[in-house]
Amino acid sequence: MSFSEFTQKDYDWIRRDYEVLRASAEKRCANEKELAVVEKAFEFANNAHRNVRRRSGEPYMLHPIAVAQIVVDNIGLGYKSISAALLHDVVEDTDYTVEDLRAEFGDKIATLVDGLTKIKNVLDTEQKTHGTDISQQSLQAENFKRILLTLNDDVRVVLIKLADRLHNCRTIEHMPEHKRDKILSETMFIFIPLAHRLGLYGIKSELENIWLRYKEPDAYEEIKQRIDKRVEEKGSEMDEFVLPIEKALSEAGFKYTIKKRIKTPYSVWRKMEEKQIPFEEVYDLYAIRIIFEPTENSRETERDQCYHIFSTITGIYRYMPERLRDWVRHPKSNGYEALHCTLLSNSGVWVEVQIRTRRMDDIAEKGIAAHWMYKRNGFVGEGDNEMDLWLTRIKEILVNPDVNALELLDIIHNDLTSAEIYVFTPRGEQRTIQKGATVLDFAYLIHTEIGNKAIAAKVNQKLVSLNHVIKTGDKIEIITAEEAKPQAEWLQFLVTHRARTLVQDYFKTQRRQVLDSGRSILEDRVQQLGFTLDETTLQRIEVAYHSESRDELFYNIGLGNQSLENLEEVLKKATGNRISWLRRVLHLEDKPEETKAETFIIGSSDPNAPRFSIATCCNPIPGDPVIGFKAPDGVVTVHKKSCRVAERIAASHGDWVVVPKWLDQAEDRSFLVRISLKGIDRMGLLNEISRYVSLVMGVNMRKLSLQAEGGIFEGFIDLYVPTKETLEEMMKNLQAIDGIENVTRTEI
């Protein structure tokens, strides 16, 4: 922030933006009295932030106005939340106190602002020293715990914070790079999943696209251009697709609106990454949304009328049964209800169709706020109970004194991002549980004692063991025995946090001894192999063994549940030619005062360079956007910015973030990457591929694996390349070889 006298243009700018907000707030406020509170909050904040500017040079007051606009338009909150959004930075950035606000605006608005101020304070706090052991709680993870604890007080604080985060991300280009990386990583790890879980799909989608634009700028621009081109070429086909649907729905007497939408760049990128497919194979690029008013005094329920529309449109177009998603009968835990199907247009394009009532659409767009509004008005939807159960479960996790901050951060992240399935008790009661859960997880979901006494189960009348993985629609009956008790080996297959916690609590008296034993066993084994158990080594082991937390790693080793047979391979995998080269070429520059961020030049030959490594989870190469982490032991690890492991580290240890830069003229360097190929097999194809890679491009291959069956081949090549530019040129030319249909860069 900076200070300089406002001009008349600045005052006009503030007033213009506020008038737009006022028009939106007027529709949301119940009466003139509520609107007057919003007006008073604006005048108060406008006076408090007078002559204060953001990094961009624009008046600071535009930020709280924008946050309040998101609060009312995107979330649908009322006058108290709009007022709190306008005032959310007053206590932090001016001489006014919470008590001053309480005297002016009452207890509730002051409490909301106080909660937002505390969140801002803890997010901006950074650990000043690196001398603490990583097994101690991370300060930033502790900060997130405090943020999430506001769910226990008033969810509106988190909702307003999401609006604040969205506007900060919209203007993130004005932030220094290391701050930008920290903010975007926090956003992807916690705030985007939180927006999804609270049903704020519009906010989630915009945050995802901003994340991609800065984390993978080349991919974002390419996908956006290809989407725009596809829309230009095929746009008229969507109009032709909708016409017969409109005609049929009108003849059936429905009052409806049809909205068209195109898949976002992030959702296209994520599908390409996860399925390892090219843009051309993203078939569900188009979607339409049918939003209808349920017919009053009809014998058909909302659900029945959704099925009626489904029956009508599938009488016009053929649909894909395997892509039918019925969230009307089984709503998501965030209250989302809709019926999704994918139809084949007359021109051969697959189009996703979403069928919703107006109420369902409000909840889908404005999430938990709309959910509560309908509930207060006496309308109880199918998803209401699931939303309340989820909030209760989160609050139980948050107030558990035995969960440290780092554990909690992982637990909440996993809970926010895990997919769900729907299963039934013997009496036919529907329950929601995490995808991949076992019957024992289900037993603990029902009751602690049922889990503790479980010995087997019947799934759809068939006898199964406790580690049997359940699926949507299963009817489950737990078999118990009075003498049964929890077994330590259950932790090897339990999936849900609740079940794992209850079993761990049962063994709590011996937990510390088991943890200490596990750490000692690991230290001894690492030393026997000639390594040191420092922070970097522990991070590599955690990633390799897929541990959710450090304590879980030690605990499983102590119990004997985690084998260390391949430990030497794990430790050696992070060393080798790339590491040796980087030890010669990485250089630490002086810390720039204006950003207070450490910058590493990758490619310098300075012998005083610190210890570091290239992350084996994502294997970045020159040309990739990268992020660095300087751990307490001084080792710097370099990741791709879009790496999920990097997101987790930046979210829990934002103060470790440093800025690595690739040196254009570094010599004697090569980086291991993998490309996957798929196509139609023919005589001499393998020879042509290897000849091009080795002789034409002059690139060394480490491993080549191609398999052919039924005339189709697929496989991969591991090779060493100097830059991303070289890799992309090679992939483009390989794609041009007769018979090769698809070439993609994949993880090793």
- The CA distance from 138 to 650, in Å, is 11
Amino acid 625 reads P
Q: Hey, which residues does 675 pair with through a beta bridge?
A: 717, 745
Cβ density class 145-162: b for 16+ within 10 Å, e for less:
bbbbbbbeebebbbbbbb
Task: Find out whether 157 and 150 touch, Cβ atoms under 8 Å.
Answer: yes
Contacts of 378 (CB under 8 A, 6+ apart): none
- The CA distance from 394 to 386, in Å, is 12
Chain position carrying tokens 């188009």: 286
Task: Find out whether 589 and 628 touch, Cβ atoms under 8 Å.
Answer: no
Task: Find out whether 586 and 636 touch, Cβ atoms under 8 Å.
Answer: yes
Chain position carrying tokens 């995808």: 435
The backbone torsions φ and ψ at residue 674, rounded to the nearest 5 degrees and listed phi first, read -125, 135
Task: Find out whether 629 and 636 touch, Cβ atoms under 8 Å.
Answer: yes
Task: Find out whether 6 and 57 touch, Cβ atoms under 8 Å.
Answer: no
Q: What is the 3-state secondary structure (H, E, C) of 86-126?
A: HHCCHHHHCCCCHHHHHHHHCHHHHHHHHHHHHHHHHHHCC
- The CA distance from 473 to 486, in Å, is 27
- The CA distance from 714 to 704, in Å, is 11
Q: Hey, which residues does 319 pair with through a beta bridge?
A: 343
Give the three-class secondary structure for 401.
Answer: coil
Amino acid 450 reads I
Cβ atoms within 10 A of the Cβ of 651, count?
24
- The CA distance from 616 to 733, in Å, is 27
Task: Find out whether 278 and 272 touch, Cβ atoms under 8 Å.
Answer: yes
Closest CA to 56 of 182, 221, 178, 168: 168
Tokens (6 digits) for 596: 């207070």
Give the three-class secondary structure for 2.
Answer: strand
Q: What positions carry a catalytic annotation?
A: 92-93
- The CA distance from 24 to 71, in Å, is 10
The backbone torsions φ and ψ at residue 356, rounded to the nearest 5 degrees and listed phi first, read -140, 150
Task: Find out whether 585 and 605 touch, Cβ atoms under 8 Å.
Answer: yes
* Measured CA distances, 161 to 190, 279, 467 (Å): 12, 35, 40
Give the three-class secondary structure for 268.
Answer: helix
Closest CA to 439 of 492, 384, 477, 388: 477
DSSP character for 345?
-
The backbone torsions φ and ψ at residue 211, rounded to the nearest 5 degrees and listed phi first, read -55, -50
Give the three-class secondary structure for 61.
Answer: coil
Give the rounded distance of the alpha carbon of 689 from its chain centre: 38
